Amino acid sequence: MIYLDNSATTHIDEEILDAMLPWMKDFFGNPSSAYALGRKARVAIEEAREEIAASINAHPAELIFTSGGTEANNAILKSACIESALTDALAVSAIEHHAVFHPSEWLADQGFTLKILGVDSRGVLEQNWYDSLPSEKTLISIMQANNETGVIQRIDTMRALIPEQSFIHTDAVQSFGKIPIDVQHLGIDFLSISAHKIHGPKGIGAMYIRKGIDFKSHQHGGGQERNRRAGTESPALIVGFQIAVRNAIRQLETRQQHMRSLQECMRALMKEHIPQARINTPEDSAICLPSIINVSFQHINDGEAILQLMDMAGIAVSNGSACVSGSQQPSHVLKALGLSDQEAKAAVRFSFSKDNTVEQITEAVLELQQIIASLS
């Protein structure tokens, strides 16, 4: 199989799996237990916390482990509005992941004001977006890089544009480990990250909560994670997360260059072999991740058929559409960029990792060429 859906998840590295296994088999103690087996697990978790926090220039006390990006997003948005009562209004971009959109809509149903911020045809936040904030104490949630198109937002410019009482959250699940992240430079209050997008295990992520914020737990139970996220921590998953982060940071530049070369190769091959394709990922490398290319086809009626035929050819890709009640819906991200329903349905997202090759990219494009011709 040629796997080109790395924005959905990545293959876990053998080194990471090997590092996790002892914590499942031999060192299985509960990290909240006081005896030696539990203390050993606690030490491993705190060492991982220090290393992962350092990777984003945060203090270890500011990093809280979660089950992944979705939980982190939900916990931050809902706690900020309800448990912590930090805000009475939300502002989110029109291209947010559903893990931000859906809790935001739920909070709107509970009476909180919700403002959807528009984007331009590239997917970049519209100019003067800050003029329409609904409150002086708005929680602004803007993803650092979009999971469908790879477009990067200038999070670092936002702090100077908003009221002092407002808060900034960024979903960095797609960008973490692919571009540098410094929470101090970004000027943010909250951040969400996950392990399985960088060759780590599924089921583990983290949220950054800036020191000094009175953040109360959204998930209640025990006093784990400094009373900010109840539930027994998994040393195995956290150690796997730690090694994945270590490798991603050490190899950041090498991985960037490799994925950018694959992206440029695919872009050139698309233009040569499938000129009718619309490439939705901007060509400007300064505003897009190196790991994603999103393309759509105006004359194709059945986008799902593209994915199925690619799968039959042994190539795993995805599109920007979500399945709701069994029916394919146009991508809200691509519609926000101005694409028609048809184009937004007939979209294909290719996403690369350090493990992909130019040969795989070439084979995928040539296969896609034949599929598009057969469906036209």
Q: Which residues are catalytic?
A: 323
Report DSSP letters for 153-208, one per residue.
P-GGGTGGGS-TT-EEEEE-TTTBTTB---HHHHT-SEEEEESTTTT--TT-EEEE
CA–CA–CA angle 210, 49, 8 (5° rounding): 85
In 3D, which of 73, 66, 255, 95 has the Cα closest to residue 177?
A: 255
Per-residue tokens: 181: 């992240």
For CA atoms 186, 105, 351, 344, give the dihedral sign: negative
CA–CA–CA angle 198, 258, 156 (5° rounding): 60
Q: Which residues pair with 279 in a beta bridge?
A: 295
Q: Which residues pair with 151 in a beta bridge?
A: 288
d(CA 176, CA 244): 11
